[in-house]
Amino acid sequence: MSAFVFVPLLVLTWILGLAVVAHAGQYFLSIVESSSTGMAQNVAVRGRSFREWVKDGIDWRDEPFADYLLKGFFLSYLAVLWAGPAVVVGRLATDEPGPRLAIAAGLFWLGFPIGVLSSLASGSRWNPFWPGLFVGLARRPLQTLGFYLTSAPLLAVLFVLFDLVLLRPSQIALAWVVALAPVGVLALFVYARLVGRLGLSLSYSLPDAEEPEPRPAKRKRKPRRPAKAYDEKHRWGIPTEEFVEETPKLVNPYDDEEVTAYGVAPAGVPAPEEPPKPAPVVHTFEDEDDTPLVMEPAADLSQTDRAAVAAELANPPEHEVALYLTSRPTEPANPYGAGSLTFLFDMKTVQAWLTLTAGVVLLALGQRALDALRPS
């Protein structure tokens, strides 16, 4: 009897897991892209430069579920691409499970942010390694060191909670699963914010990428149609030599030489006279004023303060310049300060946090039920 329940529950758990991965990819990439570029970008083949940003907030956009699946696949692609070599190196380095796990986690901790930022900075979103990113990291050593120091405990918490809540949920009590799931989602959001803030600092060190000029599209040449055969009855097509010889002869009035013309009246035949053109009819109405419009002369602006206003606009006062400079976006002195946590109090962020937490809890419950029903 348990087999009839196990198979549908397994399918339901897989569907729920796919939804959790899709929402995790959507939320993670939305936070990273909005924090580093100022506006959320769709996952596309072509990317944009870091300097295309207007604000430093999170843009939670309503997108179809197909885009959620694409971003979930994209995040899984980056994670597997950097976690796979890390696990292989850890297995080759030692046979002890503890040091092997530490080596794999350390390599993933170093490489995964490079993969995410490379996909944003390079010309293609599917490029997980862009060498030009290391130029920005070298120009911002303090911001790079600060990111790795602050992200290390968050990534360690994510690894432990992922192992306990999703991989081995039966090893802990159900109350701990419900309590640890929101903590793990919160750590994921803050880690994504730190990655985006690192990208924001690097945007001031990387040069603007010049977009290549689009090449003009080549026009397809239409094939030439074959010439039609000459029809003597309708005179359609290319005339033959016999028909050209029979064409009427005209006398050139300038040099008294005969010229050959096709379809032209012979010499001595007067041209037909054109009929006279009808006189134009002008309709007038009783309420129509036929008097011409008279334009008034231009106003004399010499006695106004136009010149003074132009001079004031050309040289604005110092307080207006200072107000403009303070409103311009500048590189943050401490990108990992309080500004990296204030987005958590946004209602849309809270809604995303609750949605992903509920999905993780339901996925953990499904896995616990599968462990209980799994045939021995």
pLDDT tens profile 132-160: 889 889 999 999 999 999 999 999 999 88
Instruction: Evaluate if residue 332 carries a pLDDT over 80.
Output: no
Angle value at C-alpha 129, between 102 and 62, nearest 5 degrees: 95
| Per-residue confidence (pLDDT) for residue 111, from 0 to 100 | 93
pLDDT in tens, 299-330: 777 777 877 888 888 888 877 776 666 555 66
| Per-residue confidence (pLDDT) for residue 98, from 0 to 100 | 82
pLDDT in tens, 81-130: 999 999 899 889 888 888 888 898 899 999 999 999 998 887 778 888 88
Phi, psi of 326 (to 5 degrees): -70, -25
Instruction: Evaluate if residue 337 carries a pLDDT over 60.
Output: yes
Q: How confident is the model at residue 234 (pLDDT cuts 50, 70, 90)?
A: low
Instruction: Evaluate if residue 252 carries a pLDDT over 70.
Output: no
Q: Can you tell me the mean pLDDT for 224-234?
A: 61
Instruction: Evaluate if residue 248 carries a pLDDT over 60.
Output: no
Residue recorded with tokens 């001031």: 204
Instruction: Evaluate if residue 39 carries a pLDDT over 60.
Output: no
Q: Give how far Cα 1 sits from Cα of 12, 13, 40, 369, Å.
A: 18, 19, 49, 14
Residue recorded with tokens 């405990």: 153
pLDDT: is 212 or 27 the higher one? 27
Angle value at C-alpha 107, between 159 and 135, nearest 5 degrees: 125
Task: Please report the DSSP string for 310-328 in residue order.
Answer: HHHHHS--HHHHHHHHHHS
What the block records as the tokens of 208 is 């603007």
Q: Where are the beta strands (DSSP E) in 71-140?
A: none
Instruction: Evaluate if residue 260 carries a pLDDT over 60.
Output: no
| Per-residue confidence (pLDDT) for residue 243, from 0 to 100 | 45
Task: Please report the DSSP string for 2-22 in residue order.
Answer: HHHHHHHHHHHHHHHHHHHHH
Which of 64-68, 71-75, 118-122, 270-274 shows the lowest mean pLDDT across its residues?
270-274
Helix 174-202 and helix 141-161, axial crossing angle in degrees, nearest 10: 160
Rounded to the nearest integer, the mean pLDDT of the chain is 78
Q: Which residues have C-beta within 8 Å of that of residue 334, sequence separation ≥ 6?
A: none
Q: What is the pTM of this model?
A: 0.65
| Per-residue confidence (pLDDT) for residue 144, from 0 to 100 | 92
Q: Which residues have C-beta within 8 Å of that of residue 340, sequence separation ≥ 6?
A: 190, 193, 194, 197
pLDDT in tens, 191-221: 999 998 898 888 888 755 444 566 676 777 7
| Per-residue confidence (pLDDT) for residue 40, from 0 to 100 | 37
Residues 353 and 190: beta-carbon distance below 8 Å: no
User: For residues 364 and 166, what is the distance between their CA atoms, to the nearest angstrom?
Assistant: 6
Quick one: 67 exposed, middle or buried, by C-beta within 10 A (0-12, 13-18, 19+)?
A: middle
User: For residues 134 and 146, what is the distance between their CA atoms, to the nearest angstrom?
Assistant: 16
Nearest to 34 by CA among 55, 51, 20: 55
User: For residues 124 and 122, what is the distance between their CA atoms, to the nearest angstrom?
Assistant: 5
Q: Can you tell me the mean pLDDT for 44-52?
A: 44
Residues 71 and 233: beta-carbon distance below 8 Å: no
Which of 54-68, 251-265, 361-375 shows the lowest mean pLDDT across its residues?
251-265
SS3 state of residue 295: coil
Q: Which residues have C-beta within 8 Å of that of residue 331, sequence separation ≥ 6?
A: 200, 201, 204
| Per-residue confidence (pLDDT) for residue 175, from 0 to 100 | 87
Nearest to 261 by CA among 272, 252, 250: 250
| Per-residue confidence (pLDDT) for residue 317, from 0 to 100 | 80
Phi, psi of 331 (to 5 degrees): -70, 130
Instruction: Evaluate if residue 254 carries a pLDDT over 60.
Output: no
